[in-house]
Amino acid sequence: MTKDLKAILTTEACRRFRDRAVKNYCPYCGQRLVDRLWEGAVRRFCRRCEQPIYENPVPAVCAVVPNPDGQILLVQRGVAPKKGFWCLPGGFMELGEKPEAAVLRELREETGLGGYVEGLLGLRSTPSRMYHTILLAVYVVTPENAPLMAGDDATAACWFQPADMPPIAFNSHRAFIRQYHSGAFQKPASRAALP
């Protein structure tokens, strides 16, 4: 092990990384992976494939869904992490899926609501115990009239006044709700083109 590699492995950031989502085996050939200094960073490396295994954030989407009374739609989580806490409806993008389609799919699965994507509220990189880093894209969605019906990972779906929010599961969701209520989101003149 080189001196450089040793120095990097002992940094706090690297320890945090190793404690969480480290791959032990090559996803292509099954060989046990090693650490190697590669392009300025310590990366998992497969000696059989002779290539590093690049790790990237996992893309996820969620929706800020306001109603005409100024309430925001939240869902209660039925699964870990933060089971029983509330959050914005959302989830992970599927392969080949556009983010706007993903957010409408998640909204329908978790609340029974359809809707229109008005635009992107923001992007945020958030730490995750299971996935290391999640890239979260948050859209503002105008709901269609339909009865709320919790489903999928959500055990309940409900509208909440900004001043009367239940315990929110994730700091990033809390920040986006605040950002929306601060008036940061400007509705575009035309709605986002969807697939």
Residues that bind Zn ion (CB under 5 A): 26, 28-29, 31, 46, 48-49
Shortest Cβ 50–Zn ion spacing (Å): 8
Give 145's DSSP letter: S
Distance CA(98)–CA(48), nearest Å, equals 35
Closest contact distance (angstroms) between CB of 9 and Zn ion is 22
- CA pseudo-torsion sign 155, 160, 162, 166: negative
Residue 38 one-letter amino acid:
W
Across the beta sheet with 86-87, what order do the strands follow?
86-87, 72-77, 154-160
Angle at CA 76, nearest 5°, toward 102 and 123? Answer: 40
Cα–Cα dist 182/92, whole Å:
26
CB 46 to Zn ion: min, Å? 3
Residue with smaller CB distance to Zn ion, 28 or 54:
28
- Minimum separation from the CB atom of position 54 to Zn ion (A): 13
Nearer to Zn ion, 44 or 77 (CB): 44
Whether omega before 147 lies within 30 degrees of 0, making that bond cis, reads: no
Question: In angstroms, rounded to a whole number, what is the distance separating the alpha carbons of residues 175 and 49?
Answer: 42
Tell me the closest approach of the beta carbon of residue 43 to Zn ion, in angstroms.
Answer: 13
Nearer Cβ to Zn ion (26/177): 26
**Which H/E stretch holds residue 160?**
strand 154-160
> Residue 113 and residue 130: Cα distance in Å, rounded?
29
Nearer to Zn ion, 9 or 49 (CB): 49
Which of 23/83 has CB closer to Zn ion? 23
Query: Which of 44/173 has CB closer to Zn ion?
Result: 44
Q: How far is the CB of 1 from Zn ion (least distance, A)?
A: 21
